[in-house]
Amino acid sequence: MMKPRIGGALAAMTLAAGMAGPVAAADDTFKIGVITFLSGQAAESFGVPAWNGGKLLVDMLNEGGRLPAPYDQQGFGGMNIEVVVVDEAGGATKQVQEFRNLVQREEVDAVVGYVSSGDCLAVPPVADELKAFTILYDCGTPRVFEDGSYDYVFRTAAHATMDNVSLARYLKSRNFDVPSFAGLNQDYAWGQDSWADFTGAMTQLYPDAEVKTALFPKFGAGQYGTEISALLRENPALVHSSNWGGDLQGFLIQATARGLHERAQLALAAGDHVIPQLQDKMPDGIFLGARGVNGLAAQARGGELKELTDTMWEAYEAEYGTFPVQAPFRMWQALFGLKTAVEKAMAENGGTKPTSEELAAAMKGLSWDAPSGHIEMALADGHQAIQPNAIGTTKWNADAGKMELVDVEYYDARCVNPPEGIKSQDWLAQGFPGAQCD
C-alpha cells in the first residue's frame, strides 16, 4: 500500500506550510487584520466603501497631523499602522479559519471586521479562545452579546434594533398617520429581524395600525414584480423595507416605475448607501435611515464634530469621487475607537504596545467621538456600543445635482437603544422601558 509514502508527502507539505511562518509586527508597528466583503453582493454596498474609508483613515493616521484633536497623534499612539485585509465572502466556516490564520499565522495585534451577522456570531468564541482583541464593526444582530458574553470581543457600532425603532419614532414625531403598513424584507436573518423590530416598535407607537402584508422575497431576488403587485393591491399607508444593495436598488427602481412611492410612504431602515448609485432615480420623500448618524445625516448635523466629519468627508470625496455612506462611517468609528483604546492603554502601561488584555481593559466602557457622533460602549458590560441615530427624508436637489436629506430628526443614543441588562426583543415588547428621549 502507498499510505506511508503519501503520508510522508503530506507531512512534508504541512511542514513546509508551517515554515512559511508568521512575521510578527515590530514594537513600533501596530498590525490590524481587517475582514470585510471584497466580493459578493455585500462588497459594493458595504465591504468596499468601508475599506476605502478605512484605508484612507489609516493612511491619514500614518502620515500624522491631518486630523483634528484628539486624533492628531500619528498612527496609534505613535506606532505605524499596518493592515492585512481578508475577504469576508465564503461563509462563517471560512471566516473562523481565516480568523485563526490572522491571529496565529499573521500575528495581528487586533482584528477589525465582519459585516455578516453569521460571522459575528461564529467568530467571538474563537476570539476569546485565542485571547485575540477583536472589534466587530458593522454587523447588526443583537444576539452577539445578548446570547453570549466575551472578554476580548467588542462591537463599536450599535446593533440593528436602533434602526427600526428610530424609523417608528420618526413617523410618530412627524405626526405621520399610519392606519396600515406592510413590509418587504429579504428572506434571511437580517430581513426577518428588521421586520420583527419594526413591527415591535410600531405595536408600541401605533397600536391601531394594521399589518397588511409581510413579504419576504429571496435574498438576491432582484425581481419584485409580484411583490409590488401585492403591495399595490393591499394599498398600505406605509411600506417598510430593510433591503440593501442590489436588492434595494432593484426594488426602488421597479417600485417607482409602477408608482408605488406615490401611493404608499416608503420607509427604508438602512437605505442611504444606494444613493451614490441611484442618484436622481431615488425618489423624493422617502424616509431613510443610515444605521447611525452616517453619510448625509452626519454632513447635515454640524455641531462640534463638524471639523472631524468634514475632514473625513472631503478626504473621501477627493480620493474616491463619491461621498461616504454608512459603511465608511462605521469603519471610521471602529478605527477611532481602536485608536482611543490603544492610546489609553499605552498611557497606562508606560507607552509600550498594549497586549490584548490591556487593550480589552481599555476598550471596556470606553467612549469616544467619531464622525457619526459620540460612541459609548454602554451595553453588555462595556462591550456593545450605542450611538445616536438619524432619520431623514430624501429630496433631490436638481440645481446642485445631488441628493439631500431634509427634515432630519436626530435621536439620542439612549432614546433608540435598549438600556443595559434587557434584551432588545423584551425592550420592544415592554414599550421601551428606560428610554431617554428629550
Partner 1 sequence: MRSKLFLGATAAFAVLAAGSVILPDWAMFLCAMALAKGLVCLGIVGMMRGGVVSFGQGLYYCIGAYTATLVANSFGVSDIFLLTLLSALACLLVGMAFGPLLSSYRGIFFAMLSLALSMVLYGSLSKMSVIGGTDGLNIAAPTFLGWAPEGRPLQTALYIYVVAIVVIAGTLMRIYFDSEQGLITLATRDNELRVEYLGASVRNIMTYNYVFGAVLGGIGGTIAALALGHVDPEFAFWTTSGEFVFVAILAGYLSVPAVFVAAIILELVRSFSNLYFPNTWQLALGIFLLVVIVLLPNGLGSLVGRRKGNAA
Does residue 417 sit in helix, strand or coil? coil
Nearest-approach distance from CB 179 to partner 1, in angstroms: 28
Instruction: Enter the C-alpha cell of residue 52.
Output: 476605502
Nearest-approach distance from CB 295 to partner 1, in angstroms: 25
Based on CB atoms, which residue is closest to partner 1, 109 or 272? 109
Distance, in Å, from the CA atom of 140 to the CA atom of 148, rounded to the nearest integer, reads 15
Distance, in Å, from the CA atom of 154 to the CA atom of 73, rounded to the nearest integer, reads 23
Residue among 424, 412, 339, 329 at smallest CA distance from 380: 424
Based on CB atoms, which residue is closest to partner 1, 1 or 69? 1
Residue 212's contacts (CB-CB under 8 Å, 6 or more residues apart) are 180, 181, 182, 234, 235, 236
> Beta strand pairing status for 134-136 and 153-155?
parallel
Nearest-approach distance from CB 215 to partner 1, in angstroms: 14
Based on CB atoms, which residue is closest to partner 1, 319 or 407? 319
Instruction: Enter the C-alpha cell of residue 179.
Output: 392606519
Based on CB atoms, which residue is closest to partner 1, 118 or 285? 118
Nearest-approach distance from CB 136 to partner 1, in angstroms: 13
Nearest-approach distance from CB 78 to partner 1, in angstroms: 28
Q: In what order do the strands lie in the sheet with 389-397?
A: 210-215, 180-184, 238-241, 265-268, 287-289, 389-397, 402-411
Cβ neighbours around 431 below 10 Å, total: 13
Based on CB atoms, which residue is closest to partner 1, 129 or 357? 129
Based on CB atoms, which residue is closest to partner 1, 140 or 373? 140
Residues that bind partner 1 (CB under 8 A): 1-11, 13-15, 17-18, 20-21, 38-39, 84-87, 89-94, 96-98, 100-101, 103-106, 117-118, 121-122, 125-126, 129, 141, 143, 147-148, 187-189, 192
Nearest-approach distance from CB 4 to partner 1, in angstroms: 4
Q: What share of the chain is helix, strand, coil (3-state, %, to 5)?
A: 50, 20, 35
Based on CB atoms, which residue is closest to partner 1, 94 or 172? 94
Distance, in Å, from the CA atom of 24 to the CA atom of 105, rounded to the nearest integer, reads 9
Nearest-approach distance from CB 2 to partner 1, in angstroms: 5
